[in-house]
Amino acid sequence: MSNHEELARILNDEINAAADEAALEAVRVSALGKKGRISQLMKSLGSMDPEERKVMGPALNGLKNEVQQAIAQRQQVLYSQALDARLETEKLDVTLPLQASALTSGRIHPVSQVMDEIAAIFGDMGFAIAEGPDIEDDFHNFTALNIPPEHPARQMHDTFYFGEQEDGSRLVLRTHTSPVQIRTMTAGPPPHRIVAPGRTYRCDSDQTHTPMFHQIEGLVIDKETHLGHLKWVLEEFCKAFFEVDTIKMRFRPSHFPFTEPSLEVDIGCARLGNEIRVGEGDDWLEILGCGMVHPQVLRNVDIDPEVYQGFAFGMGIDRLAMLKYGIPDLRAFFEADLRWLRHYGFTSLDIPSLHGGLSR
């Protein structure tokens, strides 16, 4: 067998034995590289006599082409083998149930759940979400809301005060979410349509009160907003939130310094021992305060009450959560007891939405 036929056989074996692309590359270099075996043979052509060269020239070129082709073919095979192996190991059966993980065992607190539910409902009605700081100044928490110093409403709020500042004023932990109304109206021109959920604080603690609790505030300011809009928004909200088709509601006259007229809203319910059922029965349960924004509040934020008017409402989120999910004791909300959270919490993948269901 001639030299180059022998080499062709050897190279063929080496190429087929190459187990991956790196091994194949090594074979290629050892054959076709500068000092490769075929290249060396090519160089020897120069020292051959013309007759011999006539035969060997084409033969060596043929060998070179053959080897190049064999390498290219082997490359294809190795590539698709590697791809198959990867597809095999990265196989994902999307129909399998979720594996236990932090995502499936963690629980969403009922307060967060209810906040998300409320945000989904008002979001659907075209309200934006607004936020304000937990630490407020006197102007936003009281004065701008038509609660001047010495106003009796200040005593009712059991306010947590910070120490005196240089100018003698004292910051407070906000006693309600109503200051976000003021921040919204001073941040830009009307119309406004916002809800503002968040933490609120009062120096009060018993079975139904905790020093920190949650409220959500609503505010709509426009040129033709009236009490009928307020009633409709609240009725639609209550039906969506309690996931019932009809709900009995009662609007009672009340007093808040920042609204005129002011109303308190009760929903119809049935009390069965410790249980309260919304949407049936002849009892009433107060769930929120509301009213038309007081003209003085509008003036305080440079809005002309002759042109603009609107309504506001505020409700306690913790109470709504207790009601909807039958949770008896408010204090347990803030005790961080994992057993309680596992029982009353929600899975993190059930994101409340009106089309997908609020609480499922």
Phi and psi, residue 215, nearest 5°: -130, 165
Residue 297 touching ligand DAH (CB under 6 A): no
The residues in 132-161 that bind ligand DAH, with binding defined as CB under 6 A, are none
| Residue 189 Cβ vs ligand DAH, minimum distance, rounded to whole Å | 20
Question: Which structure tokens are listed for 41?
Answer: 């043979």
3-state secondary structure of 22: helix
Query: C-beta of 103: minimal distance to ligand DAH in Å?
Result: 36
CB of 157 to ligand DAH, least distance (A): 8
Please select the residue that binds ligand DAH; options are 113, 259, 300, 309, rule is CB under 6 A: 259
User: Of 146 and 178, which CB lies nearer to ligand DAH in the complex structure?
Assistant: 178
The crossing angle, in degrees rounded to 10, of helices 227-242 and 110-124 is 130
Query: What is the dihedral sign for C-alpha 191, 194, 200, 205?
Result: positive
Size of residue set near ligand DAH by CB under 6 A: 11
Tokens describing residue 237: 């909200």
Taking the complex as a whole, the smallest distance from the CB of residue 287 to ligand DAH amounts, in Å, to 11
Concatenated DSSP letters for 157-211? TTPPEEEE-TTS-EEEE-SSSTHHHHHHHHHSPSPEEEEEEEEEE-S--BTTB-S
Nearest alpha-carbon partner for 321 in 283, 280, 358: 358
* Assigned token pair, 283: 């009892």
For position 256 contacting ligand DAH by CB under 6 A, the verdict is yes
According to CB under 6 A, which one of 110, 291, 310, 352 is a site residue for ligand DAH?
A: 291
R_g of the chain computed on alpha carbons: 38
Site for ligand DAH in 159-178 (CB under 6 A): 176, 178
Report the run of H or E that residue 215 belongs to, with start and end: strand 212-222
Q: Contact with ligand DAH (CB under 6 A): which of 197, 198, 257, 289?
A: 289
Q: Per DSSP, what are the bridge partners of residue 309?
A: 222
Please, are residues 292 and 231 in contact by the beta-carbon 8 Å criterion? no
Query: Which CB, 256 or 346, lies closer to ligand DAH?
Result: 256
CA distance 284 to 269: 6
State which residue, 289 or 352, has the beta carbon closest to ligand DAH: 289
Cβ 264 to ligand DAH shortest distance, Å: 8
Distance CA 193, CA 218 (A): 8
| 121 near ligand DAH, judged by CB under 6 A | no
Instruction: Rank residues 117 and 217 by Cβ distance to ligand DAH and give the closer one.
Output: 217
For position 217 contacting ligand DAH by CB under 6 A, the verdict is yes
Q: Which of 8, 24, 130, 312 binds ligand DAH (CB under 6 A)?
A: 312
Residue 263: closest CA among 307, 311, 207: 311
Residue of 314, 321, 346, 358 interacting with ligand DAH (CB under 6 A): 314
Q: Give the span between the Cα atoms of 8 and 12, in whole angstroms.
A: 6
Query: Which one, 197 or 289, has the nearer CB to ligand DAH?
Result: 289
- Stretches 78-86, 236-244, 287-295, 330-338: which one binds ligand DAH (CB under 6 A)? 287-295
Residue type, 168: G
Minimum Å distance from CB 188 to ligand DAH? 19
User: Which of 20-28, 40-48, 224-232, 308-316 is the region at the interface with ligand DAH (rule: CB under 6 A)?
Assistant: 308-316
Site map for ligand DAH, 96-115, x if CB under 6 A?
--------------------
Minimum CB separation of residue 95 from ligand DAH in Å reads: 49
31-44: string of b/e by CB count within 10 Å (b at 16+)?
bbeeebbbeebbee
By CB under 6 A, name the binding residues for ligand DAH: 176, 178, 217, 256, 259, 289-291, 312-314
